[in-house]
Structure 1
Amino acid sequence: MQSAAPSAPFAGPFAIGTLSATDQELFPGLVVPEGRVLDLRTALGEPALTTRGLFERWDEELPRLRALAADVTGDAWQPLDGLRVHAPVAPRQVFQSGANYRQHVIDLEVAHRSPDDPRTVEEARAEIAAVMDRRAAEDLPYVFIGLPSAITGPYDDVVLPAWAEQPDWELELAAVISRPAYRVSVAEALEYVAGYTIANDLTDRATVFRRDMKAIGTDWLRSKNAPGFTPLGPWIVPAESIADPGDLRVTLKLNGRTMQDESTEDMLFGIARLVSYASQTARLLPGDLVLTGSPAGNGMHWGRLLRDGDVMDGSITGLGAQRTRCVAEGAS
């Protein structure tokens, strides 16, 4: 589906992307709102530089990026139109947060409740809401691991595997790590975040829970990690350009109809708590992603799952927008 990159606005004077000209190598680009791009391999004098390599010394390079973005004159800047936009970074690790939006969890619990549940829908929602409030106050985030191989570009087609019976959308805010983080506190966690981007964490609802081994619980490998199940980008916007990541609008439209439209304010656990929590067990590395969960309005809520030909438009305040088309496996 990739075509000329749209000119969706982003916050601040610049963002980071990964781009390529036709049949050319990928390059890390400094993108400015005027719709121009600077190849950072040339600008920084490093022919082998990658976007992930940039984040490995983010604190050092950030002042240079600010200076470069302040002057968009000169032949080194090229128009964004005509360039292919890829996923903005190739992470080594992807940390995904589940059950992190209050209304989303309530909707899912109600949708998946047993037919024999004696409670009315209203009673079930009230009880689940009380559990969510206690969890936010007393419990820990729920974080699991995703595969980098599931990541695809923000305008690429998404292939729906033939085995996926209930493919669903889940638009999310993603934090990008700037330096190694291990056992960092909540108070210092945001110091390890370089910026933010958009992720659509697709899920096959039919395979989330193991039917053959119910005691084991969720099967995230099967349900979330098909190739292309995580459209990412288009840009990584520096954290300094986002005034409050806890107050951004997450919006997904399916074929033009708004399905998700919620503020990150509805998150049970904010970005600092998620980053800190993940770092208590794992060492987070530069360029890694921490996905923060998806708000209410997924397909299970609407009773409408993804199918061949669907087009998803996802946007988050200040981060631009992505557009992906669903293609059934084997479809021409």
Structure 2
Amino acid sequence: MPDPLPTHAGPFALGTFSADAGAFPGLVTGARVRDLSDLAPSVRAIVEDWDAFFPRLVELAQDADGGWHDLAGLRILAPIEPGQILQSGANYRKHVVDLVAAEKESVHGATPEEARADAEQMMDERIRNGVPYVFLGSPRAMCGPYDDIELPALGEQHDWELELALVIGRSGKHIPVEEALDHVAAYTICNDLTTRDRLYRPDLKAIGTDWFTAKNADTFLPTGPFLVPAAFVGDPNDLRITLRHNSVVRQDESTKDMIFDIPRLIAYVSTTTTLHPGDLLLTGSPAGNGAHWGVFLKPGDVVESEITGLGHQRNTVRSHV
């Protein structure tokens, strides 16, 4: 039985699709897709002029004319080629508390109760006075929401990290928290895979983590299926994130558990870099990754991911060629 078609909140979403004639930007309404090539060459071009395009997209979603396709007959690609990819680490309270408590027990000899209480106190202080932890990812790691995940030749502990991602729709630098959501065009799903045993360089311990090697292998960022306009998503700080690994639920959490919410993340990153339309910001992954369960990805595994209103992903894992 074929997989069900991905659904989305609101009357339409955007995506990138391929058919016999090649890739094209498309307007998704339920089970059909309108080719937008007559309006723009890519979804990125649409997002770069988001305020002008959005009213036109609303009209087109209600228009029966134009180049409509059946969604079931198209290949769904990653929905956008981003400018920069900004990734938030350690941004879910329960996830970080679990990590800190485990370290306090194993390294410092604390009891489970002491370790958890200390970890929760640390997180409360971080929420009050801390700042987000953000790093850059490579667009070359992206793949489509139904593409195979190819494990790299090196490393054994290949892990999942399902995340809510947002797409910037207005440029800004030093964006105030209270204005931050005005800069968001849309939301999508990203699974930010990590090879845990390549995250730290034993030959360069003083330098610390090697994010490039651990996170940027080809196919290590399944993205999509769609960009769902922010106007249709509702409260992005109240969405459900669910990941199944071989049909077993591994991650199941609300975005309410974020340590730094989306406005604070946008305000923080914009103090360093000017945000431009098409930039992708990942907001962190909740508790339940493979390191927590002691289970990592192997060839033949199937990973299924969904976030409220944004559709779903389904990726089969294979070994490197």
Q: For this structure pair, what is the TM-score category when the shorter chain's length is used for normalisation?
A: over 0.9
* Distance in 2, Cα, partners of 1:41 & 1:125: 54
- SS in structure 2 at match of 1:281: coil
Query: Aligned to 1:133, what secondary structure does the other structure show?
Result: helix
Q: Aligned residues: percent identity? A: 53
The letter of the residue matching 1:259 is R
Deviation, structure 1 residue 143: 0.7
The whole-number CA distance in structure 2 between the counterparts of 1:5 and 1:64 is: 31
Structure 1 residues 246 and 116, CA gap change in structure 2 (3 angstroms): closer
Alpha-carbon deviations, 1:33-91, whole Å to 9, x = none? 2x00000113x2x4xx11100111000010000011123x2362111111010000001
1:51 and 2:12 matched:
no
- Aligned-pair CA distance for 1:121: 2.9
- CA drift of 1:112 comes to 5.1
Q: Is the 8 A contact 1:5 1:83 kept in 2?
A: no
Aligned partner of residue 81 in structure 1, secondary structure: helix
How far off its partner does 1:117 sit? 2.3
- Retained in 2: the 8 A contact 1:252–1:260? yes
Task: Please point out which of 264, 270, 287 is paired with 2:255.
Answer: 264
Give 2:10's aligned residue. 12
Q: Among 5, 8, 32, which residue is 2:29 paired with?
A: 32
Describe the superposition over 1:153-181 as per-residue Cα deviations: whole angstroms up to 9, x where unpaired.
10000111121221100000000011222
* Aligned 1:155-304 pairs, distance under 5 A: 155-304=146-295
- The residue that corresponds to 2:96 in the other structure is 105
- The Cα shift of 1:6 comes to 3.8
- Structure 2: state its 5+ residue gaps: none
Between stretches 244-253 and 111-120, larger displacement belongs to: 111-120
Q: Please state how far the C-alpha of 1:114 moved relative to its aligned partner.
A: 7.6
CA RMSD of aligned residues (A): 1.6
Whole-angstrom CA distance in 1 between matches of 2:45 and 2:176: 25
Q: Deviations over 1:262-299 (max 9, x none)?
A: 00000000111111111110111211100000000000
Q: CA deviation at 1:111?
A: 4.6
TM-aligned CA deviation for residue 128 of structure 1: 1.2
Shift of 1:5: 7.3
Provide the aligned length of Structure 1 versus Structure 2. 321
Shift of 1:109: 3.0
Distance 1:94 1:61 in 2: 23
Cα distance change on mapping 1:58 and 1:142 into 2, 3 Å: same
Q: For 2:212 and 2:286, how far apart are their aligned partners in 1? A: 21
The TM-score with structure 2 as length reference comes to 0.96
Change (3 A) 1:58 1:88: same
**Distance (Å, rounded) in 2 between the aligned partners of 1:245 and 1:300:** 27
Q: What amino acid is aligned across from residue 26 of structure 1 in structure 2?
A: A
Distance 1:240 1:116, change over 3 A: closer
In structure 2, distance between residues paired with 1:230 and 1:146: 9
Cα distance in 2 for partners of 1:77, 1:62 equals: 19
Distance (Å, rounded) in 1 between the aligned partners of 2:165 and 2:109 = 38
In the aligned structure 2, how far is the partner of 1:264 from the partner of 1:139? 19
Aligned: 1:311 with 2:269: no
Distance in 1 of aligned mates of 2:4 and 2:110: 48
1:322 to partner: Cα distance: 0.5
Instruction: After TM superposition, give the deviation of residue 99 of structure 1 in Å.
Output: 0.3
Counterpart Cα distance in 1 of 2:264 and 2:51:
22
Cα contact 1:207–1:223 (8 A) shared by 2? yes
Q: Secondary structure at the match of 1:280?
A: coil
Distance (whole Å) between structure 2 residues aligned to residue 138 and residue 26 of structure 1: 46
The residue that corresponds to 2:56 in the other structure is 64
* Distance in 2, Cα, partners of 1:207 & 1:233: 26
Task: Report the CA distance between 1:115 and its aligned residue.
Answer: 4.0
Q: Deviations over 1:171-221 (max 9, x none)?
A: 000000112221111111111110100000001111222222322222111
Equivalent in the alignment of 2:109: 118
Answer whether contact 1:5 1:84 (CA < 8 A) is retained.
Answer: no
